[in-house]
Amino acid sequence: MPIWEYVSAMARAATTSDAWNAVAEPQRRRILTLLRGGERPVNEVARALSIDQPRASKHLRVLREVGLVRVREEGKQRLYALDARGLRPIHEWVGGFERFWSESLARLDVYVRGLAEKEKRR
């Protein structure tokens, strides 16, 4: 790895101390989505994301350190699994916007029904 990539990776590592920062990285979100389907070894994660194994391992390590992924050993393999409990703070925050979307969709429904009624009367 060229030194500039190493320095850049080190700078980013300091920002992944919680679930919020960890999921800000698109590859990590893809890993979480992949792990929703069940446990996977790192080589399967790497192959599914079209990245090399060391990069997949790095992302999995970050996700494990912030509590979004758990790992267990089976023979020579390390199997990674989603631990969605770590997503609770994000879920709770996003859930706060549910009322906004529900109200917006309800207003849209009323508007569309009104248009449909006007169309019927023509």
Look at the chain and report how many structural domains it folds into. 2
Q: What share of the chain is helix, strand, coil (3-state, %, to 5)?
A: 70, 10, 20
- Whether this prediction's pTM lies above 0.85 is answered by no
Domain range enclosing 46:
1-82
Q: Residue 65 has what pLDDT?
A: 94
The per-residue pLDDT string of the chain (122 residues; one tens digit each, 9 = 90 and over) reads: 555 454 445 445 545 678 999 999 999 999 999 999 999 999 999 999 999 999 999 999 999 999 999 999 999 999 999 999 999 989 888 888 888 888 888 899 899 999 888 888 88
User: Are 57 and 100 in a shared domain?
Assistant: no
Looking at the fold, whether 16 and 58 belong to one and the same domain comes out as yes
- What is residue 33's three-state secondary structure? helix
Greatest alpha-carbon pair distance for the chain in Å reads: 72
